[in-house]
Structure 1
Amino acid sequence: MSSIPVPMPDAVARPGPLILTACLTAAIIPLSIAGPAVVVPAINQALGGSTAELAWIINAYILTYGSATLAAGSLADTYGRKRTWLTGMLLFALVTAAIPYMPSVRWIDLLRLIQGLAAAAAFAGAMAALTQEFDGHARTRVFSLIGTTFGAGAAFGPFLAGLLTDSLGWQWVFLLPALVAVLASLLIGRFARETRDPQATGLDWPGAISFTAGLALLTYGVILAPEKGWGHAAVLASLASAAALLCAFVCIELRRERPLLDLSLFANARFVGVQVLAVAPAYAYIVLLVILPARFIGVEGCSALQAGRMMIALSAPLLLVPFIAGQLARWISVGMLSGLGLVIAAMGLAWLGHSISSDTASRFLAMATIGMGIGLPWGVMDGLAVSVVPKERAGMAAGIFNAVRLAGDGIALAAVGAMLSARMLSGLIASAGNGTPGGALAAASNRLAMSDMGNALVHVPAVGKSVLLQVYEGAFRWQLLMLAAAAAVTALVIFLLLGRVKTQD
């Protein structure tokens, strides 16, 4: 069964401009993750803010984006892909343009929550709309181009953020994506065609609310844990509520004729493999977009522009490799391409773990190896995600895929922060002995986990910078090796579940 296009009276489907519009939509997503990661120190200097408030500049966007994408995909299928795409893009432009004028970090955090909701609607609508216009290998090539565009945003996002911060001010890291979103909105209105699922009977509101709230609370609890501790009442309440809501979601979906998410798909190894693949970039790549610029600025003393320039080594391969992967998918299993890419990324992470402390070409070659590795699955996984369900439910497929991917990003960032903080606290306790209060050591370890060497030293001045640096470097190397191991294990799972998938028909 296929979706019946319902063209708007003033809309004409033109593939070229439509692809350009989708690429603009894809470009602002990584800009909204990688850019703010670079300017957090500048925002801290301008507006102050606690460690938790500054961390939520990154976490807030990921929390709502990941939680809302499944509901956004269903909205697109039910009420119109163009309508959802355009509404999300306009809201994104409005909210993003307002962020630089906020009086405090808390207000920025609030708007970042809304920005994530808008981005979820825009991206889910865009991917579902593209699925209606292309099939087979044409769809593979289009989605590989989307992956390449996403890679371009990731490649130059940190550099562009540093350049804008040093030349015009940190505010332009938000104003520029807002302008791009305005342009994309104009193009959506002119060139996108309205389509929807002809069998849709309305949004599954009980399913949408229980899933979105459950996933949001799960991500929130994991993000909150490094600050409060896993035994804190707020963390436990968030995780318990998340488990209850997600269980309720499963019960609701099993009883609905047209569920938000068809749970029977999880009996399909290919569908499960796609969801596993969705989380792999979180710990093989996305976390590096946050922790590496913070390291370059807070520990190595680089400017925002210098840090952004250094990050090109990691992300520049995504300008080309996803497109190459889309071409190779004609002849090579997408599962094999994806698994091989994760093996290469794991090798790069291990290499970076051994060379991170040396300001030499070896460090940048390791970063480039990670980028080349992650670029292979990056070029095929979005197209693969929408190919595992009937075409009329492409919004649902894009929604669950991006929900898993963005929830994975948020959880991975929180987990890495928690592991780094715990590892650093252990190192500080061993190095400082019993003379330093435990509260000061914990505060210092939290700051070190954000690569904020200056404020970490304020909490434990008696320990000394050399000891802090030694503890920091040991924990950072260990964390990179753990990420390498996770990527290698995921590669094995992908080989098993997707190794024989040769096309994205």
Structure 2
Amino acid sequence: MPLSFTGPAVATPAIGRDLNGDLSLLVWIVNGFMLAFGSTIMLGGALADQFGRKRMFRLGAIGFTVTSLAVGLSPNVLIVDLLRALQGIAAALTISAGFAAVAQEYEGPARTRALGLLGTGFGIGIAFGPLIAGALIGTLGWRSLFFATALAGVIILVAGVPRMRETRDPGATGIDFWGAGSFTAMLVALIFGIMLGPDRGWGDTLVVALLAGAAILLISFITIENLQKRPMLDLSLFRYARFVSVQALPVAVAYSFIVPFILLPVRFIRIEGMSEMQVGMMLLPLSLPIATIPFIAANIARWIPSGILAGLGLILAGAGVLLLALVPVGSAPTAFILPLAMIGAGAALPWGLMDDLAISVVPTERAGMATGIFGTMRVAGETVAIALVGALMAFFVTGGFDMKSAELPAGFANVVASGGLDEAALLAPSIARAAAAEAYGAAFRNTMLVCAAITFTAALIALVTLRVRKPKPVEEAVMLEIGA
């Protein structure tokens, strides 16, 4: 499953070359999946509680397997985009049902170990996903990446699903379709508004309508949830100040870790001229710490408050993002090693602590709902971050030329922001390729500076508001046993 998150970012340039895809469609290979995943994971959990975790896990795994196979057989980028969105929905259903099934099956320290083992799997997948993707694409082509995930889905269906026990929430009274619908529509409107803004202009009627509609839908969602006897998201938890503060952690991880993870493959391949295999190697300093450091952090948290550890990690990650911003286009590959290692190590500290922090700052009886809200906010925040950073890149590209945005060809800023220097030359022959590359480099630098500022702000929030450690039994801190 993690390969479907990390691999397509590496595969996008190869897909574009093979299918002659327009850059405006290629961005949806990642964005479409994240949007569909982020907007339906909350509904997936509700469906699993209502109709059975095993049943929904099986349905999601089947959908994920079929869509993975179909993406590998796709004839054009538009079909890839649509199938990736369906794959995101299937992944949301699989993950939400799977985590709910594990949480129901185990209790106490056993649940901690089981959920930690799931986190281990995801960490390993994220750590080695780019390398695996680069190797597959470089040797067998981009389609092999999706065939590999389809094969993994078949193995899960054959070997894993039959061993699951069916469970459901006996207190489930139905699906909050109004809440789920308003939340999904809000996120879709917001993402589309952000992504269309740079090209059409922020004063464009459609862009304004989408952003205003997102605000109205957010208010509607809050109203709907407050009126529900059994809300999908109990928003009363936001009355706990420290629970609100915890939400800053996934925001920081999104801008310090997820954003570079998405942007760097484009830069490495389209701007720096690297191969997919080289990209997989280049991303190892960024991704490898996720597979190891969270276990260490979980044990250190027995003596040092998790909030302090998370804040210190974000300071390290923010410093790494600052250094990354200072690496100019055309630099030697070794110039990226230290910044990426700092980002990876820094983001890995809160990575394994965030979920427990979200639970520890609310009453014990609200832990389940706190987990659901935090997970939803985390995924939705990553989706919004990717869209916002794309818009920021386009904005800074426009500012890199001595002309008004209205004088640039339509779509030019987005094309350069996506690393499409050849396409940019076709759109604006009067603009030299070197000038476009320079504008991309400046946009990347400025965008990383914004991401660093967000990360440092979140670190400050964590250090100030999450200093106090909630005492817990020693036996819960056994994460190293999982790694062993």
TM-score by length of 1: 0.87
Change (3 A) 1:333 1:502: farther
Match of 1:487 among 447, 450, 455: 455
1:309-367 Cα distance to aligned partner (Å, 9 max, x none): 11112111112111212222333222122111111100111111223543153421110
Superimposed CA distance per residue, residues 179-204 of structure 1 (whole angstroms, 9 cap, x where no aligned partner): 11222233442332332222221222
One of 338, 344, 367 as aligned partner of 1:371: 344
Alpha-carbon separation, structure 1, partners of 2:58 and 2:15:
30
What residue number does 2:95 align with? Answer: 123
Aligned counterpart in structure 1 of residue 385 of structure 2, from 404, 412, 415: 412
Distance change (3 Å), C-alpha of 1:389 and 1:199: farther
- Report deviation, 1:71: 1.5
Amino acid at match of 1:483: C
TM-aligned CA distance change 1:214 to 1:183, over 3 Å: same
Residue of structure 2 in register with 1:500 after alignment: 468
CA contact (8 A) 2:254 2:385 kept: yes
What is the identity percentage for the equivalent residue pairs of Structure 1 and Structure 2?
A: 44
Residue pair 1:140, 1:326 contacting (<8 A) in 2 also: no
Match of 2:283 in 1: 311
**TM-score, normalising length from structure 2?**
0.90
Distance 1:327 1:320, change over 3 A: same
56-65 vs 404-413, which moves further: 404-413
Q: Of the candidates 181, 193, 206, which is equivalent to residue 209 of structure 1?
A: 181
2:424 is the counterpart of 1:456: yes
Q: For residues 255 and 174 of structure 2, what CA distance do their matches in structure 1 show?
A: 36
Q: What whole-Å deviation, never above 9, does each CA across 1:279-317 have from its counterpart, x for those lacking one?
A: 222111111111101001001111111112111121111
Determine the C-alpha separation between the residues in 2 that align with 1:79 and 1:271: 30
Match of 2:307 among 326, 335, 339: 335
Deviation at 1:59, TM superposition (A): 0.8
Tell me the distance in 1 between the aligned counterparts of 2:225 and 2:406: 51
Q: Deviations over 1:443-477 (max 9, x none)?
A: 43222211122222333333322222222222212
Contact 2:176 2:232 in 1 (8 A): yes
Q: Take 2:413 and 2:390, find their aligned partners in 1: how far apart are those partners?
A: 10
Within the candidate set 444, 450, 453, 1:476 is matched to 444
CA distance in 2, matches of 1:482, 1:235: 23
Total equivalences in the alignment: 472
Which residue is 1:7 aligned to?
A: none
| Matched AA of 2:327 | S
**Aligned partners of 2:327 and 2:40: how far apart in 1?**
38
SS, match of residue 161 in structure 1: helix
Alpha-carbon distance change, 404 to 385 in structure 1, aligned in 2, over 3 angstroms:
same
Change (3 A) 1:181 1:279: farther
Alignment-derived partner of residue 376 in structure 2: 403
182, 201, 213: which is aligned to 2:154? 182
Specify which of 183, 193, 200 is matched with residue 228 of structure 1: 200
Task: Give me the whole-angstrom Cα distance separating, in 1, the residues matched to 2:72 and 2:221.
Answer: 37
Please name the residue that 2:354 is paired with.
Answer: 381
Q: Name which structure has the greater RCO, CA cutoff 8 Å, separation 6+.
A: 1
| Counterpart residue identity of residue 332, structure 1 | I
Contact 1:226 1:414 in 2 (8 A): no
Are positions 1:255 and 2:224 aligned together? no
Q: Equivalent residue for 1:42?
A: 14
The alpha-carbon deviation at position 67 of structure 1 amounts to: 0.7
2-structure distance, mates of 1:355, 1:497: 33
> How far apart are residue 494 of structure 1 and its match?
2.0
Instruction: Give the Cα separation in 2 of the matches to 1:473 and 1:387.
Output: 42
Equivalent positions of 1:45-64 (< 5 A) are 45-64=17-36
Secondary structure of residue in 2 paired with 1:355: coil
| Residue 57 of structure 1, CA deviation | 0.9
Rate the CA distance shift 1:219–1:227 in 2: closer, same or farther, 3 A.
same
* Counterparts of 2:445 and 2:17, CA distance in 1: 28
1: CA distance, partners of 2:440 / 2:84:
29
More deviation, 460-469/298-307 = 460-469
Using the alignment, how far apart are the partners of 1:90 and 1:346 within structure 2? Answer: 40
267-276 or 119-128: which moved more?
267-276
CA change 1:285–1:107 in 2 (3 A) is same
1: CA distance, partners of 2:363 / 2:159: 27
In structure 2, do the counterparts of structure 1 residues 393 and 164 end up closer, same or farther at CA, with 3 Å as the change threshold?
A: farther
Letter of the 2:344 partner, please give it.
G
Deviation at 1:251, TM superposition (A): 1.6
Does the residue aligned with 2:383 lie in a helix, a strand or coil?
helix
Task: Please point out which of 408, 419, 424 is paired with 1:439.
Answer: 408
Inter-partner Cα distance in structure 2 for 1:183 and 1:69:
23
1:80 aligns with 2:80: no
> 1:296–1:50: structure 2 CA closer, same or farther, 3 Å change rule?
same
